Amino acid sequence: MDYRNIAIVAHVDHGKTTLVDGMLKQSHIFRDNQLVAERVMDSNDLERERGITILAKNTAVTWRGVKINIVDTPGHADFGGEVERALGMVDGVLLLVDAAEGPMPQTRFVLRKALARGLKPVVVVNKIDRKDARPDEVINLTFDLMVELGASDEQLDFPIVYAVAREGRAWLELDTPGDDLTPLFETILQHIPAAAADTEAPFQLQVTNLDYSDYLGRIAIGRVRRGRVRKGEGVLRLMRGGESVRARVTKLYTHLGLERVEVEEALAGDIVALTGVEEVQIGDTLTHPDAPEALPAVSVDEPTVSVTFSPNTSPLAGKEGKFVTSRHIKERLERELLTNVALRVEELGGESYRVSGRGELHLSILIEQMRREGYEFSVSRPEVIMKELDGVLLEPFEHVVADVPEAAMGSVMESLSSRRGTLVNLTQEAGRARLEFSIPSRALFGYRTHFLSMTQGEGLLNHTFDGYEKSVGGLKTRLNGSLVAMEAGEAFAYAIFKLQDRGVFFIDPGTEVYVGMIVGANARAGDLNVNVTKNKKLTNVRAATADDNITLTPPKKLTLEEALEYIADDELLEVTPKSIRLRKRILDPSLRKREEKVTAGI
């Protein structure tokens, strides 16, 4: 059978998963009366809630007798491990760019990886129906970006498809809109190389993804590089260290639509899932026992940000979580390492674990998944991972693109410059400005909320890892202190009302608080101990005007990412299945004061 293996890559929210929906429907994978959800490939609850793709997923359609294997990849650089593995299985990429926004930071990240692998791109200019669409300019920007990223002449000679993925339409000439996705399918068959398929050579497959089933155990996913593999056949598993172990394929599947279809045999060029290889790891090579030839190990960019996980030790510990001990946390992190290749876990002793990932989003998704599974633990402030080269300290930098109203341009430029950012490009058009900065990764901790308030919610902020550069030294990203509870008990509206001019509260009246718990952000620098458990004294004498009219400012409810960005070095994030609380690392106010004096050298 003829195969085409493609990855769909683009910036977040440019329509990848929506386009896959259309391709699945128009290739008649689903029954006519079958109910199909929107963004059907985003099967994970978190993906549906956030509208982003986190895990690379496989699907396939058939068109004119050709099987097209499609890998829907994440657009966030934080999930670069998923992107890199996906690109190892394909021969070409559909590069989606928004007809108005054009190439964005994550487009650059994914495209650089694809071009370096020599993959042939097909550019799909999506959302061509937008009122502010500028297709010709976007195509020129995409071409310039490819030149900048070192594309070959063959890669620069890319075909262009115009599309409205939401409506399932595509066409090749800008002035002649199409009725369906036929032009896209035909372009794929014409321009994406057929999968190299030497079916007579000895079997070889590299494991690029893993799944797990309670019934089947570990499921290895990868592209058959050569030969063929049959159900029940013996294979050799070659590991990174050079060791090998024999195994037998118990089940064999290929992809069609959203289903895994069980087959007796799979041929070179196809993307398959197989079971029976115990303890298989991503990067292992499966071969015919008589031809043990390993493929190069899958390389993934190193982590840039780390946090420390430890058991929850607050006065409310163990009340909401199901898995609360250090052993539970360790087992869960070890299980995550099996499939999350961009993650690193290091035991620190004292029941703590340093968990390193590709960015704050990468780590916050793991934290959110664990709390939904019933885990309770505490997390430290994110820290960037420094490197030393020839005696010079290096730190990770980000390429930032801020799309803002012109009125906010000055304040955004000033704020990024004050955080040691360097302006590298500035364009203005139709009342908006696009600022591009190179900035230390740690300078962006806690910046998004500040950015949204400066732009009154109209700004778009995107950033992607841009490499390591010389460290800029000291950097202060949080100017305000915290409001810290000094008494335990239930928070009263009266107490919050009397204190609300001191800062912004994170809690509602009725919230149970403990000594050392952070209940809000101070309006000034430095921490302020407050008593939110104080209620109004009742007396027998009542005047008509005696009761104050209590009008509370609504509290600021922090998301997990906002909470991670907010906490300082001496603070922790307490994560449970039901709550996200902020606390001081040292709860007792007097002990905390003593520690501050020691730190200050007084």
- Residues flagged as binding site for GTP: 13-18, 126-129
Rg of the chain taking only CA atoms, in angstroms:
27
Displacement of CA 171 from its chain's centroid (Å)? 32
Contacts 24+ apart (CB under 8 A), 257-266: 257/24, 257/29, 257/30, 257/59, 257/60, 257/61, 258/24, 258/29, 258/40, 258/41, 258/59, 263/231, 264/230, 264/231, 265/228, 265/229, 265/230, 265/231, 266/224, 266/228, 266/229
Nearest to 433 by CA among 415, 411, 449, 418: 411
From the annotation, which residues make up the binding site?
A: 13-18, 126-129
Rama region for 89: left / alpha / beta (φ>0; ψ in -120 to 50; rest): alpha
* CA distances from residue 461 to 104, 385, 402 in whole angstroms, order as listed: 10, 23, 5
- The span from the CA of 507 to the CA of 450, in Å, is 20
Residue 458 sits at the vertex; the CA angle it makes with 457 and 461, to the nearest 5 degrees, is: 90
Count Cα neighbours of 238 within 13 Å in the Cβ-side half-sphere. 18
- Identify each DSSP E strand in 290-391 by its residue range: 305-310, 344-349, 352-357, 377-380, 383-384, 387-389
Phi, psi of 449 (to 5 degrees): -60, -45
Q: Is residue 365 within 8 Å of residue 375, measured between CB atoms?
A: no
CA 57 from centre of chain: 14
DSSP 170: E
